[in-house]
Amino acid sequence: MNTVPAGKGWNWVLIGFTLFRKSPVTWAFLSLSYIMLMQLLGMIPVLGWLAATILIPGFSASFMIASRELDQGRRLRMDLLFAGFKSNLPALLRQGGLYLSSGLAILGLSALIDGGMLAQLMVMGTKPPPAAFEEGALAAAALLAAALYLPVLAAFWFAPALSAWRNLPALQALFYSFFAAMSNWRAFLAYGLAVMVLSAACSFVLFALALLLRVVLGNSSQNAFVLAMLPVMLTYVPTLFASFYASYRDVFPESGSGAEPAVDAS
């Protein structure tokens, strides 16, 4: 495990965009397929959200594998969307269960502040009443949940790749991931700032597109804006996915004898 300079955090986003540019069309289809699959699962009340949450580490490993394939000069393929489920699946599913348990615990603690409105929004999709925004209880619960989620995020950041590529059990992978993230907090702080800059740039592009379409198309611009938004989002999301791999590559570099194997194309 390496402790990298803070500047590496900025570079992770740049590497993510570079990997996206190597195969933008396939990246877009992979990301769109993942988003649609998650949306379909989310349409199933409660159970869909639970299942989608448990599957997150497996899909995280898949996008790590997809990024590594491009990084090592191989072709990006659509079947890589499920490649993460072919390596140490029991550990990845255990991570998913722990991720779900952590999320439920955080939502449970947030319910002490807002009476469960945030939990209902996240699990059931139930929109809080307007008074919840005015009173500030929902905002306070969201801030508490975000603060509690940070150490969870650190524990799960590298864990899927550590289980899929280095065959670590779930708990051991979570431990090493948390320790690695904490040791590299400066790089992750820079990474967070870089993601904020990228998000702001995408938001500006979307805002400019909305204004332009409003001027050109008038009231019929809404549907056109949804179509125009897709290329922006399907650049932003794959760049983020690939940046996760860039962080892993720097913090857990491959050794000569322990390099992760290539994915079988058959």
Report pLDDT digits (tens) over 171-205.
999 999 999 999 999 999 999 999 999 888 888 87
- pTM (2 decimals)? 0.85
Cβ–Cβ < 8 Å for 161, 248: yes
The continuous run of DSSP H or E covering 163 comes out as: helix 159-166
At residue 259 the predicted structure's pLDDT band, cuts being 50, 70 and 90, is very low
Taking Cα atoms as reference points, which of 196, 206, 241 lies closest to residue 29?
Answer: 241
Q: Environment class of residue 262 by beta-carbon count within 10 Å: exposed (0-12), middle (13-18) or buried (19+)?
A: exposed
For residue 131, the tally of other CB atoms under 10 A from its CB is 9
pLDDT in tens, 140-167: 888 999 999 999 999 999 999 999 999 9
**Is 235 a residue whose pLDDT tops 80?**
yes
**Is 256 a residue whose pLDDT tops 50?**
no
Least confident of 35-39, 107-111, 145-149, 205-209: 205-209
Least confident of 12-21, 40-49, 77-86: 40-49
For residue 44, the tally of other CB atoms under 10 A from its CB is 12
Instruction: Determine the pLDDT at residue 224.
Output: 62
Instruction: Determine the pLDDT at residue 187.
Output: 96
What's the whole-number mean pLDDT along residues 70-79?
93
